[in-house]
């Protein structure tokens, strides 16, 4: 009976430690996942619609063209994000609204965002 009790206590402690370990790993990976998701979205948004520019007949819809850039830092031999820069540019000739400016995300060696600066201005296209 005493041996079974020890086995049960050991199993409960092992499960608790495993659950805590999984939580820590998921929290750490979550920061990277968010950054990668944002970068993937930027990549899709950055495809934009290029204008033909033929003699002023450019009827490209008003839109925001986004470009992302990543700067890395060396954290004890491991490359981690230092800064993510997102640049927004208004494009198009048709009437509409867009955003123009730049946004910065700064990260520490643990992968946590430590600062966010946003310099984005709403603008409009067309007459």
Would you say residue 109 lies in a domain?
yes
pLDDT at 47 over 80: no
Residues 6+ apart with CB under 8 A from 111: 28, 31, 32, 35, 80, 81
Would you say residue 51 lies in a domain?
no
- Confidence (pLDDT) at 4: 72
Contact 99, 64 (CB under 8 A): yes
pTM of the model: 0.55
Number of domains in the chain: 1
Would you say residue 52 lies in a domain?
no
What does pLDDT average to over the chain? Answer: 75
Would you say residue 53 lies in a domain?
no
Q: Is 59 helix (H, G, I), strand (E, B) or coil?
A: coil
């Amino acid at each position: 009976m005493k041996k079974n009790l020890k086995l049960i206590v050991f199993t409960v402690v092992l499960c608790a430690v495993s659950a805590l370990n999984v939580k820590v790993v998921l929290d750490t990976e979550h920061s990277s996942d968010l950054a990668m998701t944002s970068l993937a979205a930027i990549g899709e948004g950055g495809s934009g619609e290029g204008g033909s520019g033929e003699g002023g007949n450019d009827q490209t819809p008003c839109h925001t063209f986004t470009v992302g850039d990543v700067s890395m830092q060396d954290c004890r031999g491991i490359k981690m994000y230092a800064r993510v820069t997102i640049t927004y540019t208004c494009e198009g000739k048709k009437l509409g609204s867009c955003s123009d400016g730049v946004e910065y995300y700064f990260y520490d060696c643990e992968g946590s965002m430590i600062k966010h600066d946003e310099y984005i201005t709403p603008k409009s296209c067309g007459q």
